Structure 1
Amino acid sequence: MGRKPFWTGIFPAVTTQFSKEGALDLAATQKEVDALLKAGVHGLIMLGTCGENCSLLPEEKRQVLAATKEVVKGRVPIVSGVSEYTTALGCQYAKDAEKIGIDGLMVLPGMVYKADAREAVAHFRTVARSTGLPIMIYNNPLVYGVDVKPEGFVDLAAEQNIVAIKESSDDPRRITDLHNTVGERYTLFCGVDDLLLESVALGIDGWVSGLTDVFPEESIALWNTALAGRFDEARAIYRWFTPTLHLDTHMKLVQYIKLGQQVVGLGTEWVRAPRLPLEGEERQRILGLYETAVANRPQLKQAAA
């Protein structure tokens, strides 16, 4: 009998809202968080890739966490990305997040430097030992160039507060390999939006999702129907959803997701440089995907039950 997952369900990777001029907009971020909670998400990932972690000043990151806690009021777990350049900075951020009073951390490899497996495990272990908060390890070798394979999670199993894995290798075979290698030691999250249905079939506990920022109700309906084994319903939602879910795997996922939020009234498209708002043919193409999705939104009364 496996242990009960620490976190389960849909945890959107929440965007950080800015003004057109690039100023941090805490009120708009709180409004976005409240809308996601009302839609029924099960937790929040703040300051991940979608949250433009590395584009915020250190004090701004702390402000976002405090503002999120203020609006959540304990309704769901708040998890913060830890996306720092060095292990020491990661440890300091973990300590500060714990003082603010959030519920957990999603720890990324050290930024810029491409660590090997031994160095990556040492980084995660050291950050974990700096805090009492539960930790999700974010494994995304395609984006960050650092890959912790199932054997690496055997090494990390001794750290009791490392409780979850966000699996974003883009290889669904990893889910089965993790089950075979580490059993039920960790809670497993799908971290690739357009592999969600496949991942549910292979056995996961949660979904860290970017496009939930744009279509929260449909994301919840997809999760509920898939988890219940109602695959005819789940496939219908998934096929409608997949053209926009593909946007989560693109280098410009932040711009794409924020533009979608603007289309549906859940945020704005403004980002911080070096990211720039979309323009020209690219903007029209992404707008077209969202407009088609909105025009064909599935009926969810029974699907979400």
Structure 2
Amino acid sequence: MSNPVSWQGLFPAVTTQFKADEALDLPATQREIEALLKAGVDGLIMLGTCGENCSLQAEEKRAVLRAAKEVAGGKVPVLSGVSEFTTAGGMQYARDAEKIGIDGLMVLPGMVYKSDPRETLNHFAQVASASGLPVMIYNNPLVYGVDIRPEAFKAYGAVRNIVAIKESSDDVRRITDLHNEAGARFGIFAGVDDLVLESAVLGVDGWISGLADVFPDEAVALWKMCKAGRYEEARALYRWFTPLLHLDTEIKLVQHIKLGQQIVGLGTETVRAPRLVLDGAERKRVIALYETALANRPQLKKAA
């Protein structure tokens, strides 16, 4: 199996941009990717939760992947979320993504149905077998109701192209448990924005971030500080960033992040129903958080 992905670094979970009428806006999505590349991200995750995967039609998903691959131009690996209702649907998506030239997959459990551990392993193994692409498992039990515990994850090592895990259980102790249970067999990515510093201290290979879509320069700087062991600097930046990083852990994270992109000029807040843009008190709360952050935005050193 060819593996072009360097399983380390900051991989933003890229939003999918829409026009005011909720039609897909591929040029705007490509401009967003260009801004992320300019900031120095290490990879791209298309069509994850932030990319509103389940709100897109099948051909729209393929169009987003083609657009992302075109603008990335081989500069960084492009991964796609695989978020389908059935295992067969996930397998077909994996085959299509490989034909498009995507570099890897971030596979979610089958949507809606909450599978047991045997069914979960079968789903991931079957989707992985459908292509030669390397696969990252996305473990987010709080949102998707399916939990792959560290001791159970060892069994995934038998599937040779499952190579990494995005750990989003909200329990940072799992980073150490994964190391102890599986050793160096898998790359481990932090998947909870407001636990990235803690995860870095415990030894993760990468960070998949939502708020990097809004503040890519700061996210890149924070990751570099963490990997270089410059924890005093990292703590200062993290304390500035954390009120915003908390927004990634709430049910309306997509609306939070897209509103932030609109505020800083990196996108629009338009989402697809059933999501609606924020209004009322919750909109004011999120805007106030961004305004406070912008008013106190740190001056980054070019060497960061």
The TM-score bracket by the shorter chain reads over 0.9
Number of the residue aligned with 2:161: 161
Unaligned ranges ≥5, structure 2:
none
Number of the residue aligned with 1:241: 241
The 1-side partners of 2:150 and 2:89 are apart by 26
Number of the residue aligned with 1:180: 180
The answer as to whether partners of 1:46 and 1:78 remain within 8 angstroms in 2 is yes
How many angstroms does 1:118 deviate by? 1.1
How many angstroms does 1:108 deviate by? 0.1
SS at match of 1:20: coil
How many angstroms does 1:152 deviate by? 2.3
Return structure 1 stretches of 4+ with deviation > 3 angstroms.
none
**Equivalent position amino acid for 1:38 in 2:** K
How many angstroms does 1:8 deviate by? 0.7
The 1-side partners of 2:286 and 2:160 are apart by 43
The 2-side partners of 1:70 and 1:222 are apart by 28
SS at match of 1:208: strand
- Aligned-residue CA RMSD in angstroms? 0.9
The answer as to whether partners of 1:140 and 1:147 remain within 8 angstroms in 2 is yes
Number of the residue aligned with 1:119: 119
Q: Where do residues 25-40 of structure 1 align in structure 2 (5 Å cutoff)?
A: 25-40=25-40
Unaligned ranges ≥5, structure 1:
none
Number of the residue aligned with 2:60: 60
How many angstroms does 1:158 deviate by? 1.2
Number of the residue aligned with 2:131: 131
The answer as to whether partners of 1:121 and 1:152 remain within 8 angstroms in 2 is no
SS at match of 1:166: strand
Number of the residue aligned with 1:276: 276
Q: Where do residues 160-239 of structure 1 align in structure 2 (5 Å cutoff)?
A: 160-239=160-239
State the number of aligned residues.
300
The 2-side partners of 1:13 and 1:42 are apart by 12
Structure 1 residue 257 and structure 2 residue 288: aligned? no
The 2-side partners of 1:34 and 1:152 are apart by 39
Q: Deviations over 1:198-244 (max 9, x none)?
A: 00000000000000000000001111111111111000000000000
SS at match of 1:114: coil
How many angstroms does 1:20 deviate by? 1.3
**Equivalent position amino acid for 1:88 in 2:** A
SS at match of 2:158: coil
The 1-side partners of 2:238 and 2:193 are apart by 10
Structure 1 residue 287 and structure 2 residue 282: aligned? no
The 1-side partners of 2:87 and 2:152 are apart by 18
The 2-side partners of 1:83 and 1:287 are apart by 30
The answer as to whether partners of 1:139 and 1:165 remain within 8 angstroms in 2 is yes
The 2-side partners of 1:54 and 1:152 are apart by 27
Q: Deviations over 1:261-286 (max 9, x none)?
A: 00100000000000001111111110
SS at match of 1:238: helix
Number of the residue aligned with 2:23: 23
How many angstroms does 1:6 deviate by? 3.7
The answer as to whether partners of 1:91 and 1:127 remain within 8 angstroms in 2 is yes
The 2-side partners of 1:94 and 1:151 are apart by 27
How many angstroms does 1:151 deviate by? 2.3
